[in-house]
């Protein structure tokens, strides 16, 4: 059992959450075994925590390979899109975008985010889905182009130029 320096009433769920700084200070007093227990416990409670932990442990060291794997997942997602019904297409595209947003948060890398969003937009354009016949799809596409521009602003100039070349015509 992990022993904390503060009483449990300090962390009682009805009280306000403690700051990240307080959590950091408390973690510095724990052994690596206790930290491992905490991480595993966090991973049990939320699927997203487990996914983030898996990314950090297994994929963070090879960002390029991970990005390529995510692009393949995007391609697989596009195979499931119903092209004849725009409502169903929109639902599947939103599902793909949720995954892109989550992975962008995990990596904290603007280049990866821009690459994934560019790949999504290029794949969407090539898919033949009539995005301009549906206002929600057109807005979704425009929002992704806007997010690409925002992500590109945080990337090194050389990489930014290469990604802008890819994004031409969006």
Spatial distance between the Cα atoms of 143 and 37, rounded to a whole number of angstroms: 40
CA 118 to mean position of chain CA atoms: 14
Write out the E strands in 47-105. none
pLDDT value of residue 18: 81
pLDDT value of residue 143: 97
Domain ranges of the chain: 8-45, 62-167
pLDDT value of residue 17: 78
Give the residue with greater pLDDT, 18 vs 125. Answer: 125
Q: What is the pLDDT of residues 36-45, one digit of tens each?
A: 999 899 889 9
Tokens representing 138 are 């057109």
Give the residue with greater pLDDT, 99 vs 84. Answer: 99
Closest residue by Cα to residue 128 from 86, 166, 94:
86
Whether 86 contacts 129, CB under 8 Å: yes
């Amino acid at each position: 059992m992990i022993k904390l320096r503060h009483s449990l009433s300090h962390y009682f769920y009805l009280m306000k959450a403690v700051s990240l700084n307080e959590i950091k200070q408390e973690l510095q007093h724990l052994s690596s075994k206790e930290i491992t227990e905490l991480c595993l416990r966090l991973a049990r409670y939320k699927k997203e925590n487990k996914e983030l932990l898996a990314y950090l442990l297994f994929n963070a060291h090879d960002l390029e390979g991970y990005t390529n794997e995510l692009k393949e997942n995007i391609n697989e997602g596009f195979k499931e899109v119903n092209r004849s019904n725009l409502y169903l297409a929109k639902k599947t595209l939103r599902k793909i975008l949720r995954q892109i947003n989550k992975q962008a948060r995990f990596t904290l890398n603007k280049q990866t985010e821009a690459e994934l969003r560019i790949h999504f937009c290029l794949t969407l354009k090539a898919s033949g889905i009539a995005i301009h016949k549906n206002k929600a799809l057109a807005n979704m596409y425009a929002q992704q182009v806007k997010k690409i521009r925002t992500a590109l602003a945080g990337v090194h100039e050389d990489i930014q130029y290469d990604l802008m070349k890819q994004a031409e015509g969006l």
